[in-house]
Amino acid sequence: MGATVDWLRTTTPGLLVLCGLAIAVLLFAIIKVKLEPFIALLLTGLALALAAGLPVSKIVGTAIKSGDSILETGFGSILGHIAVIIGLGTVLGAILERSGGADVLTRRLLNLFGEKGAPVAMGLLGLIFGIPVFFDIGIFVLAPLIYVAAKQGGRSLVLYAMPMLAGLSMTHAFLPPHPGPVALGGLLGVSLGWLILMGFICGIPGFIAAGIVWGSYIGKRVQVEVPAEFLVSKDEGTEAAPDEGERVSGGSGGVATAGGVATKTVTTPPSVGLIGAIIAIPLLLILGATFGSQLLDKDSQLLQVLTFFGTPAVALLIAVLVAFYVLGVRRGSTVQELSQLTAESLRPVGMLLLVIGAGAFFGKVISATGIGTALADTMAAAGLPVIVLAYIISCGLRIAQGSATVAIVTTGGIVAPLVASHGYSQMSIALIAMAIAAGSIILSHVNDGGFWIISKFFNLTVKQTLQTWTVLETILSIVSFAVAAILFAIVS
C-alpha cells in the first residue's frame, strides 16, 4: 500500500493518475450527485491535496495564520483580479439594457441591412450587445426582437435566431468583461488588452462561420414558426417589438430582467452612437494601455496616464459613471433608482464568483502537487503543443459536465504551470487562453443550461436544438481554435 501511495505522489505516471482521478470525481459530483460546482470544486481540490501528500499547514494554514495557505491564496488571487471587473461589467450591462439600447440597435441595423439582410443584422446585434451583457441576459433581452423580425420577414425563426446566438456566444466566450476570459487573464497572467485583441481576431471568423454561414444554411432547412403568444401587440393590435416593460419571457408576456432587474418603459430611447460609444469606452481604454506598454518608454508620463485609465477596473468604472449620467440621471432617473438597479443586477454574480474562486483553488492544488510538471514532461514526450493540450482538456470538461465556466477555470488551473514554465509572450498566452475559451463552448447538449434556454425561447424541439444550436457552438469552437492555433504556431 505504501509503495502505491509513493508511486502516486512521486512519479509522473502516478501524478497523472491522481489528476485523472480528481477530474473524474469532480465530474461525478457535478453530473451524478448534482452538487453545486462551487462545492464540488472545493471538495475535490481538498481531496486531491490530501491524496498528493501536501502538508495540512500548506493546504489550509494553521489555527493562527492561514493567509498564505493554498486555500486562501487560490481563492484570493483570482477573485482580487476579477471580482471588480465582473461586478462593474454586470452593472454596465444592466444600465444599457434598461435604457432601451437593444431596441435602438435593432432598428438601426434592420434599416441598414434591409429585409434580406435581417439575419446578418441580428448577428451583429448579438455581437455588439453581447459585449456588455451576459449570454443568458442577452437572450432574454433580444429574443422578443428576434420574434418580431422573423414574423415580419415571414421566414423560419431559426434563420434570425442563430446569427444572434452566435454573436452572444462569441462575445461571452472570448471577450472581457465576461467571466471566462477575465478568469483566464488572472489564471494565466495575461493582460485583458491582449485578450480583447485576440478575442476579436479568433472569435470573429468563428462568428462568421457559425452564425452567418451555418445560420443561413440551417435556417432555410429547419422551419420553425413564431407562435402567436411569443409576440406582444400594441394597443392598436399590430404586432411589433415589445416595449421596455412589455418583454416576453419564455413565450409568455412579462417583464424582462437584467440579472433580476425589472425594466421599465423608455419614452426617449438613446441614440445608436451613444450606446456604441459607451460600449467602446472600456475597450479603447484597455487597448490603449496595452499598446502603450509596447510602444512607449516605461518612464513616459503618457504611459502612466494610459496605464491608470486603461486598468480594467478603472476603465469599466468610467464607462459605468458615464452610463449612469447620460442614460440615467440625464434621462430622469434618480440616484436611488440607479443604486437599486446596481444592487439587483449584482445579485446573480455571487455564485459565479465562488465557482471561479473554487476553480482557481483547484488549479492551485494541481500546481502545488507537481501535476503540472508531470503534464509538461508527458506533453514534451508526446510532442503535443500546449495550445492543443489546453483545447483538448477544455473540450473534454465542457462535453462531460456542461458548464463553460467550470471547463475554463479547471483547464486554466491545469495548464497555468505549463504556460509559466515556457516563458511565452503575452500574445502567445492570450492565444492559449482563446483555445481554452473555444474548448469551453464546444458541443452544447442536454447537460448545458443554455441548451434548454435556447430550446424554450426559440420554440425548438430537442432534435432541432441539437441540429441548430449544438452544431453552431461546435463550429464556433473549432474555427476559433483553428485561428488561435495557426497564429500560435506563427508567433511562438
Count helices and strands in the chain by DSSP H and E runs: 24, 4
Please state, in angstroms and rounded to a whole number, the distance separating the CA atoms of residues 357 and 359.
5
What Cα–Cα distance (Å) separates residue 304 from each residue in 281, 283, 307, 309?
Answer: 18, 18, 5, 9
Q: How far is CA 27 from CA 74, 166, 346, 372, 408, in A?
A: 20, 27, 28, 20, 14
CB atoms within 10 A of CB 33: 10
Q: Who contacts 62 (Cβ-Cβ below 8 Å, separation ≥6)?
A: none
How many CB atoms neighbour CB 35 within 10 A? 17
Q: Indicate the residue type of 165.
A: L
| pLDDT of res. 256 | 37
CA atoms within 13 A on the CB side of 174: 34
- 239 strand-pairing partners: 233
Residue 1: the pLDDT is 66
Residue 393 contacts residue 442 (beta carbons within 8 Å): no
Of 395, 434, 449, whose CA–CA distance to 135 is shortest? Answer: 449
Digit-by-digit pLDDT tens for the chain (492 residues) are 678 888 888 887 888 888 888 888 888 888 788 888 889 889 998 998 998 888 998 898 887 777 778 888 888 777 877 788 888 888 988 888 788 887 888 888 888 888 888 899 999 999 998 998 888 888 888 888 888 888 888 899 999 999 999 999 999 999 998 889 999 998 999 999 999 999 999 999 999 999 999 999 999 999 998 877 676 544 433 344 333 333 333 333 333 333 444 444 445 778 888 988 998 999 899 989 888 887 888 888 999 999 999 998 899 999 999 999 999 888 888 889 999 989 888 887 888 788 878 888 887 887 788 776 676 667 667 778 899 999 998 998 888 878 888 889 888 988 888 888 788 999 999 999 999 999 999 999 877 888 888 988 898 998 999 999 999 999 999 999 999 999 999 998
End-to-end CA distance of the chain: 44
Cell readout for 219 is: 435556417
DSSP string, 476-492: HHHHHHHHHHHHHHHH-
Tell me what pLDDT residue 252 has: 32
> Among all chains, which residue has been given the C-alpha cell 500500500?
1
From CA 484, how far away is CA 428, in angstroms rounded? 9
- Distance between CA atoms of 185 and 176, rounded to whole angstroms? 9
Cα 38 to Cα 52, 113, 436: the distances in Å are 21, 44, 20
Q: CA-to-CA distance for 262 and 259, rounded, in angstroms?
A: 9
pTM reported for the whole predicted model: 0.78
Q: How far apart are CA 399 and CA 23, in angstroms?
A: 13
C-alpha to C-alpha distance for 427 and 86, rounded to whole angstroms: 23
Pairing of strands 248-249, 232-233: unpaired
Cell numbers at 93, concatenated: 450591462
